[in-house]
Amino acid sequence: MNINMLMQQAQRMQKEMESNVKKAKEELAQTEVHAEAGGGLVKVTMTCRNVVKRIEISPDLLQDDPDMIEDLIAAAMNDAARQAESISEEKMKSANSGMGLPPGLSGLF
C-alpha cells in the first residue's frame, strides 16, 4: 500500500468524522431535555447544547420563601444539565465511532 493512498484514506475519514460531529451538534441543538424539582413545582426545558428554553414555576410555590424557590430552580437546572451532558456524550461517541481511533482519543472530538 502506498503512502498517497493512506493519506487519501485518512483525509476521507477525517472529512466523514467532521461531518458526523457537525450533524451530531446540530441534532443536539434541537434535542430538548425536561427536568423538574420539588415534585414538579419547578420545571426546566433545556436543549442538549445548554440553551434554556423555558422555566415553569408553580403559582403555589411563589408564595414560599425565595431561598427555597432559588434552590428548586437550581436543582431543576442542574438535573437538566446532567441529562443534556449524558445525551451529548452518547451522541458524540456515536458520531466518532467507526473512525478507527485509538481508545481515549474519540473523546477529544
- Model confidence at 109, pLDDT cuts 50, 70, 90, reads very low
**pLDDT score of 55:** 95
CA distance linking residue 98 with residue 40, whole number of Å: 41
Where do the domains of the chain lie, and which CATH numbers do they carry?
A: 34-95 (3.30.1310.10)
**pLDDT score of 56:** 95
pLDDT at 5 over 60: yes
**Cα angle 93, 97, 102; round to 5:** 95
pTM metric for this prediction = 0.70
CA distance linking residue 60 with residue 42, whole number of Å: 10
**pLDDT score of 8:** 87
